[in-house]
Amino acid sequence: MTQQASLLSVKGMSKSFGGLKALSDVGIEVARGDIYGLIGPNGAGKTTFFNVVTGLYTPDTGECRLDDQIYKPTAVHEVAKIGIARTFQNIRLFGDMTAHENVMVGRHVRTKAGILGAILRTKATRREEDEIDNIAHDLLEYVGIGKYANYTARNLSYGHQRRLEIARALATEPKLLALDEPAAGMNATEKVELRDLLEKIRGDGKTILLIEHDVKLMMGLCDQMTVLDYGKVIAQGLPQDVKSHPAVIEAYLGTSAV
């Protein structure tokens, strides 16, 4: 599955919070069409890396390229516009809005109608709204929760809320889909269904950057992996090679988790 061309290239990424060095010279190359995994013990810097790449944090040093174009990760909405969408470890949906409305909100970064068009209800604005409505419907069907379109987000099951987050992220038409622990809190059946969905998304040509504590799930999904420990890269490569790397085994205290 791994291809030669990198969609995302990160080099020399460092980030400190006061005296704490959360990331130190981290770099990854994510090939187009791959699922790329980021694993490591708690506090290893995985989420900090995600937050930098997706614009939630500004890096101290480092270079980010998407589609071979340098971008400055300084704001989440700007990063979304260039083609990186993400979910969060803690679900962040609009609880009082329907599933359909949540996905429509995700489409906002791709809309063209401005304030004037919305006020005047121009033909172009109405046409765009219809398009957004159809896209939201199709994406809910795509992730397998179409029949819950009119349910408020807070009334969906936990697993369906996770799927809704993915649908909302896909509404931005991302080049890179960044998922922060999408299997967290899921039962065994929901994890199998999530794996199938992620494989489907990859099969349809999307590139995925994935943080997940379920290493067994990651080993079966990922084309390439990076392991972080104390903010530094300790191993990179194919899952089977990473799994047997001495530094990885030591970082996980030699447990069967890897």
pTM assigned to the model: 0.87
pLDDT tens digits for range 94-129: 999 999 999 999 887 766 665 555 555 667 666 768
Average pLDDT over residues 48-72: 94
Map out the domains of the chain with their CATH numbers: 1-83+174-258 (3.40.50.300), 94-172 (no CATH)
Between 72 and 206, name the one with better pLDDT: 206
CA dist 203 and 201 (Å) reads 5
Cα four-point dihedral sign 163, 182, 238, 241 = negative
- Residue 42's pLDDT band, with cuts at 50, 70 and 90, is confident
Token code pair at residue 56: 């939630």
CA atoms within 13 A of residue 29's CA, in its CB half-sphere:
10
Token code pair at residue 122: 């121009």
Query: What average pLDDT does the structure give for the chain?
Result: 89
Residue 4 has pLDDT above 60, yes or no: no
Residue 206 has pLDDT above 50, yes or no: yes
Inter-residue long-range contacts of 13-20, CB under 8 Å, 24+ positions, other chains counted:
13/49, 13/52, 13/53, 13/59, 13/61, 13/62, 13/64, 14/59, 14/60, 14/61, 14/62, 15/48, 15/52, 15/57, 15/59, 15/60, 16/60
